[in-house]
Amino acid sequence: MVTTEEDDGTAVSAPTPLPTPAEFEILRILWKRGPSTVRQVHEAQLEIRTVRYTTILRLLQNMHEKRFVRRDDSARSHVFESALPQLETEARFLDEFVEEIFEGSTSRLVLRALSRELASATELKEIAAMLERLEAEHTDGSREGEHD
């Protein structure tokens, strides 16, 4: 949550904004590598696409201002680490994507994804296991609400 101030001076909390695609790329690097210097983030980013060192530096500074990353400036080279939990951030992106593109329909998302590319046997087993677990949870939840 981000605390902002209304015109009358009262403080209100608002949801933390989602990172931009460029910021999300940096967060993925930090989640994978852990705490890293600007140079280390830049080198990892170069494996994905060409970008200037100063661009990475500016993005990390902006992300620090937004509280997306923490900065340890006790050493000569500042070290940055993600301040956003990976699973929570991915879930927020997914929720927004499903809402915007698939009008909130998770089933449309899953069916579209499975129709575009053939899933491996391992992935299909994982999907089947998840569906069985979700069905069991749904059935158990329905029984809890029943009265004899």
- Concatenating the DSSP letter of every residue in 54-100 gives HHHHHHHHHHHHTTSEEEE-SSSS-EEEE-S-HHHHHHHHHHHHHHH
User: Which pair of structure tokens corresponds to residue 70?
Assistant: 């923490």
- pLDDT digit of tens for each residue in the chain (148 aa)? 444 344 555 654 556 789 999 999 999 999 999 999 999 999 999 999 999 999 999 999 999 999 999 999 998 899 999 999 999 999 999 999 999 999 999 889 988 888 887 888 898 899 899 999 999 998 876 655 554 4
Our CA angle for 61, 25, 84, nearest 5°, is 65
Q: Which pLDDT does position 79 carry in this prediction?
A: 96
Lookup result for tokens 């997306």:
68
Q: Which pLDDT does position 5 carry in this prediction?
A: 43
Whether this model's pTM surpasses 0.75: no
Task: Please check whether residue 56 is in contact with residue 26, taking contact to mean a CB–CB distance below 8 angstroms.
Answer: yes
For the chain, the structural domain boundaries read 13-82, 86-144
The distance of Cα 114 from the centroid of its chain, to the nearest Å, equals 22
Which residues, at least 6 apart from 17, have a Cβ–Cβ distance to it below 8 Å? 2, 66
Lookup result for tokens 């999907």:
127
User: Which pair of structure tokens corresponds to residue 124?
Assistant: 């299909």
Which residues, at least 6 apart from 64, have a Cβ–Cβ distance to it below 8 Å? 70, 71, 80
Task: Please check whether residue 56 is in contact with residue 42, taking contact to mean a CB–CB distance below 8 angstroms.
Answer: yes
CATH number of this structure's domain 13-82: 1.10.10.10
Rg (CA), the chain: 21
